[in-house]
Structure 1
Amino acid sequence: MTKSPFSPLYVLMEILSGLALIGIAGVILADVGLRFVGGQVPASDDFSGYGLVAVLFLGLAPAYRRGEHIRVGLLVDRLGGPVRHGLEVVLLGLATVGITWAAFWSGRLAYDSWRFHDVAQGLVPVPLWMPQLSMVVGLTVFALALAEDLLRAAKGGTPSHLAQAALAADAAPTFER
């Protein structure tokens, strides 16, 4: 994978995303176990949903950098050379702007939830800014990863997701005779 000064941050996002997934499994297993003895975990579906948001948003940047996002390259993959590189720079710029915009407004949403003391309407009144924070952090780190690749591509380098895809293609087994 492409070296980055932010690599420890991306690894942290992977770890937090994984911990959220483990948390979901823990809540579900505890709820299933308690149902055998006539109990339940209050708001287990709410907590599982909050965990799912954390898994998805905290995992955005690491998945992008590893080239594991689904890309529809109908046009880009048919181009080559400087035209493709230029289009990649433009698309990275648009993605950076769009994700930065989403990060800003999700931050604004979390701030307003904190400011107005919004709580979940389920059995457990969880302050909504808490689960929304994973969305803000995930989108912000994803915007950082995109901006880093935009800068790299603008300088003539290869974005991390394309470099990772090239490494994966070289390591893929071939079945030719």
Structure 2
Amino acid sequence: MSNDLLEAGLETAPPETKVPVTLERALAALSMAALCVITFANVVARYLTDVSLAFTEEYSIFLLVVMTLLGSSVAAAADRHIRITFLADRLSPPVRRVTEVIAWTAALVMFGFLVWYGGRLTYDQWRFEETSPGLGNPQWLYTAWMPLLSVVVGLRVVGRIIRVAKGTP
């Protein structure tokens, strides 16, 4: 990130975290690159042969979920989640901090639901030997990443709640 962008106020430096987000960023970028490659390959194959590559849809959906959850983890760590602050910006700093803790706690509860119900779904798919519709792969191989990565996001949210409660950026 260039100093010119920082000075102009167009970009802000992410806050320091105890656990760096380097791996999450790299995996999210890798997921996006793979998604772009297989989608491009499918477009080229359709254009040249009028035949779609069947595997691309299953893998694209899987990679999109992985990329989204990894991006959510990075955004939570860097305090970059989208939010509407029209009312919160008009509150006093202590009240604003309380509302931010409440909002992050709601996010933590939501990712907790994803862990719980995603884990139950994954277990059911494993138990009943459900296979994917297109390729016949075990469906739980795709689904297992949702609760696992939701745990990662949840841990980042817990870190954010702690930093907000302490009043550190």
CA distance in 2 between counterparts of 1:73 and 1:38 reads 48
CA distance 1:97–1:105, change in 2 (3 Å): same
User: What is the DSSP-based 3-state SS (H/G/I as helix, E as strand, rest coil) of the residue aligned with 2:124?
Assistant: helix
CA distance in 2 between counterparts of 1:78 and 1:3 reads 26
CA distance 1:88–1:68, change in 2 (3 Å): closer
CA distance in 2 between counterparts of 1:87 and 1:30 reads 46
Of 148, 151, 154, the residue aligned with 2:162 is 151
Match of 1:2 in 2: 15
Between the two structures, name the one with larger relative contact order (CA 8 Å, sep ≥ 6): 1
Q: Which amino acid aligns with 1:4?
A: T
Match of 1:61 in 2: 73
After TM superposition, what 4+ stretches of structure 1 lie above 6 angstroms from structure 2? none
Match of 2:103 in 1: 91
How many pairs were matched up?
155
User: Deviation digits for residues 16-55 of structure 1, max 9, x if unmatched?
Assistant: 1211111111212222333415654223222212221111
Q: TM-score, normalised by structure 2?
A: 0.79
Deviation at 1:86, TM superposition (A): 1.9
Of 125, 128, 131, the residue aligned with 1:113 is 125
Ranges in structure 1 where 5+ consecutive residues have no aligned partner:
164-177
Of 77, 83, 91, the residue aligned with 1:71 is 83
User: What is the DSSP-based 3-state SS (H/G/I as helix, E as strand, rest coil) of the residue aligned with 2:133?
Assistant: coil
Match of 1:101 in 2: 113
Identity %: 28
Match of 1:168 in 2: none
Ranges in structure 2 where 5+ consecutive residues have no aligned partner:
1-13
- Give the alignment's Cα RMSD to 1 decimal: 2.1
